[in-house]
């Protein structure tokens, strides 16, 4: 389903992020960068993700990182989420 979704989005000219690509949208001279990572099903590689955040940061003004993570029906972040969020910020994420 994921590959099919990417195919259709690409055919329609709709940008997406999938854990390996930085997408940039410029609005009024401000470059917004978007990254997304999955720590639930596909278990994204944290070291690789942090490196992508670090190398993406200089290319844009505001870096938005969207991790898919957490535990079902929990109202608070777990230890992994908190520690990882701080690492993402240290590597250049502006919004998580």
- Write out pLDDT tens, residues 37-61: 999 877 779 999 999 999 999 999 9
Which residue shows structure tokens 């670090």? 54
> What are the Cα distances from residue 74, in Å, to 41, 67, 80, 81?
17, 16, 14, 12
Extended strands (E) in 8-81: 23-27, 30-38, 62-68
pLDDT (0 to 100) of residue 82 = 96
Alpha carbon distance 46, 90 (integer Å): 13
pLDDT (0 to 100) of residue 34 = 97
Mean pLDDT of 25-36: 96
pLDDT at 84 over 80: yes
Q: Cβ–Cβ contacts within 10 Å for residue 83, how many?
A: 12
pTM of the model: 0.86
CB 53 within 8 A of CB 35: yes
Which residue shows structure tokens 């991790």? 67
């Amino acid at each position: 389903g994921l590959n099919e979704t990417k195919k259709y989005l690409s055919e329609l000219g709709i940008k997406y992020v999938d854990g390996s690509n930085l997408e940039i949208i410029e609005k009024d001279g401000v470059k917004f960068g978007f990254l997304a990572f999955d720590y639930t099903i596909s278990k994204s590689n944290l070291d690789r993700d942090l490196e992508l955040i670090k190398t993406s940061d200089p290319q844009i003004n505001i870096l938005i990182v969207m991790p898919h993570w957490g535990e079902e029906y929990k109202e608070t972040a777990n230890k992994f989420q908190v520690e990882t969020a701080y690492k993402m910020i240290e590597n250049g994420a502006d919004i998580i």
